[in-house]
Amino acid sequence: VTGFSVGGRVLDGNGVGVEDVKISLDGQERSLTDNLGRYKLDQ
């Protein structure tokens, strides 16, 4: 699939965003979470 954008947040057990989590797509790193745990993938 091409031409899409998706985003989200990575949270710990307390609901706090986790920074620097690697987000992968098709086995390749595509993004890192920011200091609030947010990420965005544009394809």
The residue extents of the domains of the chain are: 5-42
Confidence at residue 25, expressed as pLDDT on a 0 to 100 scale: 86
With tokens 């920074």, the residue in question is 19
User: Strand 28-32 relative to strand 5-9: parallel, antiparallel, unpaired?
Assistant: unpaired
Q: Residue 23: pLDDT band by 50, 70, 90 thresholds? A: very high
Q: Taking the model in full, what pTM does it have?
A: 0.82
Q: What are phi and psi of 32, to 5 degrees?
A: -125, 145
Is it the case that residue 3 has pLDDT exceeding 80? yes
The answer to whether the beta carbons of residues 39 and 8 sit under 8 Å apart is yes
